[in-house]
Chain A
Amino acid sequence: QKEVEQDPGPLSVPEGAIVSLNCTYSNSAFQYFMWYRQYSRKGPELLMYTYSSGNKEDGRFTAQVDKSSKYISLFIRDSQPSDSATYLCAMSEMDTGRRALTFGSGTRLQVQP
């Protein structure tokens, strides 16, 4: 079983919809949580970075962390065709000295105009 599980999709939504993307994890040492967006043939682009449980909002994006359930989410409001990409969740440990990010396999999102 992978440390981080993410539904690969594809997820297809109409323009303007609210998108919900999720990851679950098994490693209790994960304390930092990130969401990256990756367009085809490009590197991952950092969207959101959170440390604690709760919500963090940035424009149309909201990241949610529930450490008790080992579950994180990314919500995209008023989705646009330009949001069509693969969304990767990533996590890293705290207090262990390890700096590596552990990624989910990514969810491919298609926003239909």
Chain B
Amino acid sequence: DTGVSQDPRHKITKRGQNVTFRCDPISEHNRLYWYRQTLGQGPEFLTYFQNEAQLEKSRLLSDRFSAERPKGSFSTLEIQRTEQGDSAMYLCASSLAQHAGNQPQHFGDGTRLSIL
């Protein structure tokens, strides 16, 4: 399978714990994006990387959230001191960078986070 891969698919944790998710993009894609989706809503943008550089962050990305893409390949998203409101599906997407224009983003199947 050459699509976007996310791990784990489902994470259940207690409030206050830290969690980390991993995303492996499509191999030739140099842009990687994180989104959050709650029930009945469309995905909301969190942040994106071009190669290893984090170029854009949403105001939704509070200081409890941190994302990394250390070698420009896979990425991790960490949430510290989880809260009930963090329960959501966390989606990763990837795309090719072009000199001009936006290439379409391809999504993984997400990590569903449930906070007890």
Give A contacts to B, CB under 8 Å.
4, 6, 8, 32, 34, 36, 41-46, 49, 51, 88, 90, 92, 94, 98-106
Contact = CB atoms under 8 A, between A and B. Distances in A.
Contacts of A103: 42-44
Most buried by A among B45, B102, B106: B102
Contacts of A34: 104-105
Nearest to B103: A49
Nearest to B55: A99
A105 B40 contact: yes
Contacts of A41: 109, 112
Interface of B: 4, 6, 31, 33, 35, 40-45, 48, 55-56, 58, 91, 93, 95, 101-102, 104-110, 112
A43 B48 contact: no
A45 B107 contact: yes
B112 A32 contact: no
A32 B58 CA distance: 20
B22 to A, nearest CB: 15
Contacts of B101: 32, 51, 94
A99 B105 CA distance: 10
